[in-house]
Structure 1
Amino acid sequence: MSKDVKNVPALRFKGYSDAWEKRKLGETNSYFTDGNYGESYPKESELSDKENGVPFLRGSNLRNGELIEDNANYITKEKHAELTSGHLVEDDIVLAVRGSLGALGYVKEENIDWNINSQLAVIRTDKSELSGKFLAQFLLSWRGQKELLSRNTGTALKQLPIKQLKDVPVPIVNLDEQKEISALFTSIDNLIAATQDKIDALEQAKRALLQRLFDQSWRFKGYSDPWEKRKLGETNSYFTDGNYGESYPKESELSDKENGVPFLRGSNLRNGELIEDNANYITKEKHAELTSGHLVEDDIVLAVRGSLGALGYVKEENIDWNINSQLAVIRTDKSELSGKFLAQFLLSWRGQKELLSRNTGTALKQLPIKQLKDVPVPIVNLDEQKEISALFTSIDNLIAATQSRLSSLELLKKALLQDLFI
């Protein structure tokens, strides 16, 4: 059995100073299996629903070291009983060995006896030498991911055969130190999960408020007049889109973040916000030419091709960004309709229904400005608009602050993974 001594990590718990041993996974007493069940692989008739079946996991069910049941497939209990090699046990590691390589999930009590499809493999460690939780955290670290991904095979379809997986070097560490490290990451993971739950609860509360306030079943005290309904095209709003004709940016007129101007597309609209992540950029000279797409505070940016219904509200930090051909801008007349108020209406169940019911096209759904102008919107006392907008601004700020905390926790975990597994 080959052994290789590893340098001491940059960060250690007090009381531990011995250098870590490095050993190939295949040289440990771990058990390996995958979801290639041969002729026994589930047929369509052996699939089931959530209520009557057993989760049959695929790569998309592995996220940030967790097993996520959302959008899982299910197999019948009879088929699950037949495929015994894929039954999950607490402290197992489920790893994507086809498709989304590097993704993995740690098996907790609530995941026991789920099953895996052909994209996945299971590592079950010998607890007398290596904790599954500790190994999972190592494989999530920068070093662990590098070791996994460097061993993939194939060209069009990347794979990580068990033979290659067994060749991955892993740290073999004093069991007490493994427990301390695992406990630390369990605490951080619990904080991350609780923070995500808070975000989900806030977003659910916002959806409920949007429905109640825009069907007028709830009103702020002091307001009782019925709301007027008017088509968007009958308001004094301004409309434009990113179809710039022959002036549309060529590849040579694209830029980078440091030197360019954000050139937004549908994927940059998320939950009513403009998100710069993965934005394209155009040169400042091209931006100066495409004046109709310059964003102004309180504008609404709306997807009119592709991801219909998505929209973003323009805040101070988004001023003077630009839009591509998937998007359109609505700029309201503030003496009758606040952009913030209109954005919240369009995010509500009723607003989304009005938008999506007016799409045209078959293969590529579109919402031409002509149809957009036909959407009925509430025209409300300006003071009531302000009250409603202020409420949602408070909720949005709380969601953003919680999102920021979540990002900080994830960065902390990433930094700790790097320092503990250097």
Structure 2
Amino acid sequence: MKYVHYGDIHTNIADEIDKNNNLPFINEIYKEYDELKLDDVIVADASEDYKGIADAAVIISNLPYTIIAGLHTIALRPTSLIKGYFLYHIFKTENFKRFGYKIGTGLKVFGISYNNLAKYKVYYPQEIEEQEKIIGILSNLTNSINLHERKCEELALIKKALLQELFPKKDEIKPEVRYKNFSDAWEQRRLGEGTIKIGDGLHGTPKYSTNGDVQFINGNNLINGKVVVTSETKKVTSSEQSKDDKELNQNTILMSINGTIGSLAWYRNENLMLGKSVAYIEVSKFDKKFVYTYLQTDKVKYYFMNSLTGTTIKNLGLKAIRETPLLIPNIEEQQKIGSFFQHLDSLIALHQRKLEKLKQLKKFLLQNMFI
């Protein structure tokens, strides 16, 4: 017997449930619960935030075992007028989510009762065939999203493994895997030895300007190798920029050093002013792609975590960054390793962009295929 808990729905362990689901088996016998069947919908009636109110799952295939709806769930068995899989998609729409926000109750844990859930007015095509066509479109899109998610996860695991193999492990002076014709031991150096300068941004608050054309960024703007500007990112005028802000260049790596530690981004000629939670590293004597990759290794991350200062909010100091211990091969091997990981990062980014576009398409269809 398997058991659908509301937490399983919120974490997507229970979503579109088929025989390959990861729900746990249980040993207890719950005679008071009805067995769920194909096309039944299970709704979470409790959530720790409003976004999760009435999250839903649906049984999409016949299962070779008994499955029941458990703690803090509402089980729905649609009539012959509407497919449960269609109803499941209705529960994913923004219209329904807004309904949930309005009717949800509670302070720390938000809930929705069956009686309140039943108040939602559902619109659906009278022809089952039309419902099935809509289900088919969205199901195919979901399968494509799942495929790209798995691909992104696989590439991330491959990258993690290669970071361990192409860089020396603790107490080693050579990596496990080498490019052909490279066999020399790597040399112990400090990050500061291969850079022109390492610094950070403004320790204070600049004068913001809605008419400014300079983005004032902090560590949370560094995402997946890029500077990501959002609607919440403040702007300043060029007069607020420091000399160092204006001298950022193609050899500059940006890194978060306050709160979130070690997020990286390349500087790509954006018009920026750095806040105190961003460090800039201008690479000179080492290969910049190699350094960018090295900063992502477990060995360097461990060094950073053991170099933090502060109590409530942790901070990585500039001295610690300059003294980051590195093992460095000759420049040719650096270039090969750096270029390889840049290509791998580009491949990961490509799949992430495809994944994001598919998610945006699904969101658009949910908004426009339902009333």
TM-score range, shorter chain: 0.7 to 0.9
Partner of 1:178 in structure 2?
131
Does 2:339 match 1:387? no
Cα offsets for 1:4-28 (capped at 9, x unmatched): xxxxxxxxxxxxxxxxxxxxxxxxx
Q: CA deviation at 1:223?
A: 1.9
**How far apart in 1 are the matches of 2:216 and 2:156?**
27
Corresponding residue for 2:229?
Answer: 276
> Structure 1 pair 241/138, CA: closer, same or farther in 2 (3 Å)?
same
SS at structure 1 position matched to 2:122? strand
| Cα displacement (A) at 1:230 | 0.8
Whichever residue aligns with residue 190 of structure 1, its letter is N
Deviation at 1:239, TM superposition (A): 1.1
Q: Provide the residue aligned with 2:118 in structure 1.
A: 166
Report the count of equivalent residues.
351
Distance 1:255 1:117, change over 3 A: farther
CA RMSD of aligned residues (A): 3.4
Corresponding position: 1:405 with 2:362: no
Cα distance change of structure 1 residues 419 and 55 upon mapping to structure 2, 3 Å threshold: closer
SS state at 2:216 partner:
strand
Please report how far the alpha carbon of residue 185 of structure 1 lies from its aligned counterpart in structure 2 after TM superposition.
1.0
Aligned ranges 1:17-416 → 2 under 5 Å: 56-58=5-7, 61-62=10-11, 66=15, 77=26, 81=29, 85=33, 91-95=40-44, 97-103=46-52, 104-108=55-59, 113=67, 117-118=71-72, 121-153=73-105, 158-173=110-125, 174-215=127-168, 216-245=175-204, 248-250=205-207, 253=208, 255=210, 259-277=212-230, 280-285=233-238, 288-294=240-246, 295-314=248-267, 316=268, 318-333=269-284, 336-416=285-365
Give the drift of 1:188. Answer: 0.7
Q: Deviations over 1:150-175 (max 9, x none)?
A: 33345776543333211111124322
Partner of residue 49, structure 1: none
Q: Matched residues, percent identical? A: 25
Deviation readout 1:212-242 (Å, 9 max, x if unpaired): 1112111122222221121223444411112
Q: 1:179 to 1:331 in 2, by over 3 A?
A: same
1:97 Cα offset (Å): 4.1
Whole-angstrom distance in 2 between the partners of 1:404 and 1:84: 47
Q: In the alignment, residue 144 of structure 1 is paired with which amino acid?
A: F
Partners in 1 of 2:192 and 2:9 — Cα distance? Answer: 42
What is the CA–CA distance in structure 2 between the aligned matches of 1:87 and 1:308, rounded to whole Å? Answer: 48
Cα contact 1:55–1:115 (8 A) shared by 2:
yes
The alpha carbon displacement at 1:388 in A equals: 1.4
Please report how far the alpha carbon of residue 300 of structure 1 lies from its aligned counterpart in structure 2 after TM superposition: 1.7
Judging changes above 3 Å, is the alpha-carbon distance between structure 1 residues 59 and 98 closer, same or farther for their aligned structure 2 residues?
farther
Q: In 2, Cα distance between the equivalents of 1:324 and 1:88?
A: 54
Q: Residue type matched to 2:329 in 1? A: V
CA distance 1:112–1:283, shift in 2 (3 Å) = farther
Aligned partner of residue 308 in structure 1, secondary structure = strand
Please report the TM-score for the alignment, with normalisation by the length of structure 1.
0.72
| Residues 15, 58 of structure 2: 8 Å contact kept | yes
What is the CA deviation profile of residues 391-422 of structure 1, one whole-angstrom value per residue up to 9, with x for unaligned ones?
11211111121112112212222222222114
Distance of aligned partners of 1:312 and 1:205 in 2 relative to their CA distance in 1, 3 Å threshold: same
- Structure-2 separation of matches of 1:321 and 1:399: 26
Residue-by-residue CA offset, 1:185-206 (whole Å, 9 max, x unaligned): 1111001100111111111111
Deviation string 1:71-123 (CA, Å, 9 cap, x unpaired) is xxx99946x645965986654233354433353242346897476554xx334
| Separation of aligned partners in 1, 2:241 and 2:255 | 22
Name the counterpart of 2:367.
Answer: 418
Q: 1:150 to 1:86 in 2, by over 3 A?
A: farther
Q: Secondary structure at the match of 2:261?
A: coil
- In the alignment, structure 2 segments of 5+ residues that lack a partner are 18-22, 169-174
Asked whether the 8 Å contact 1:359–1:367 carries over to 2, the reply is: yes
Once residues 209 and 223 of structure 1 are traced to their aligned partners in structure 2, the CA distance between those partners, rounded to angstroms, is 17
Judge conservation of contact 1:264–1:279 (CA < 8 Å) in 2: no
| 1:308-360 deviations in Å (ceiling 9; x for gaps) | 2322232x2x5332322222111111xx2122211101112222122222222
Structure-2 separation of matches of 1:207 and 1:406: 20
Q: Which residue of 1 aligns with 2:171?
A: none
Q: Where does structure 1 lack aligned partners over 5 or more consecutive residues?
A: 1-52, 69-73
| Contact preservation (8 Å) 2:48, 2:108 | no
